[in-house]
């Protein structure tokens, strides 16, 4: 008798610059069930994109991953996180500047916190400057407006997608980190 392997669903919330970029990358990672762009780590309930961009809400642009932990572990998700953004720049990723673009890992439980802190220590030797990534408990996740969801797929010819996201995806495919057909 065959035993079916059923998904063990877990969640992760990460911020590393513009959520469009992280969303496009993680949507292509095997084991990811869904990715939502949104806001977390701030003080205002249900903020809008415009409010978050003012820098007054304290929120970061983040993604919420739903993943099958039998296919991809939280540790593997974080290994990719360190590779796809610069965790040594405070409140900035490339030309995107502001507190909403900060590097942040928002954990769901003590085990995720332990893994995140360990992963950060393991990643530090990969960088010349100190990692400034914030590791904090997730209090609330607010989905971004519908036009921000699956932005790369909906607008493949948009300038930001062509200049920032597409080259990153191509590099990750060439390095064998993402599947070539992704």
Catalytically annotated residues? 18
What is the DSSP secondary-structure string of 35-49?
A: EEEEEESSSSSS--H
Calculate the CA 120 to chain-centre distance.
15
Alpha helices in 16-128 (DSSP H): 19-26, 49-53, 74-84, 110-123
Phi first, then psi, for residue 89 (nearest 5°) are -105, 125
Q: How many CA atoms lie within 13 A of 22 on its CB side?
A: 33
């Amino acid at each position: 008798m065959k035993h079916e392997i059923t998904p063990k669903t877990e969640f992760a919330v990460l911020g590393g610059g513009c959520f469009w970029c992280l969303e496009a990358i993680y949507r292509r990672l095997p084991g990811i069930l869904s990715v939502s762009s949104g806001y977390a780590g701030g003080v205002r309930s249900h903020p809008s994109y415009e409010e978050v961009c003012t820098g007054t809400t304290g929120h970061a642009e983040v993604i919420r991953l739903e993943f099958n932990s039998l296919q991809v572990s939280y540790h593997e998700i974080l290994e990719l996180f360190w590779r796809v953004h610069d965790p040594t720049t405070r409140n900035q990723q490339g030309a995107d500047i502001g507190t909403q673009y900060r590097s942040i890992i928002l954990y769901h439980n003590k085990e995720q916190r332990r893994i995140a802190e360990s992963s950060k220590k393991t990643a530090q030797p990969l960088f010349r400057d100190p990692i400034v990534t914030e590791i904090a408990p997730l209090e609330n996740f607010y989905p971004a407006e519908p036009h921000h969801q699956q932005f790369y797929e909906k607008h493949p010819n948009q300038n930001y997608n062509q200049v920032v996201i597409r080259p990153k995806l191509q590099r990750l495919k060439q390095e064998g980190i993402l599947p070539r057909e992704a």
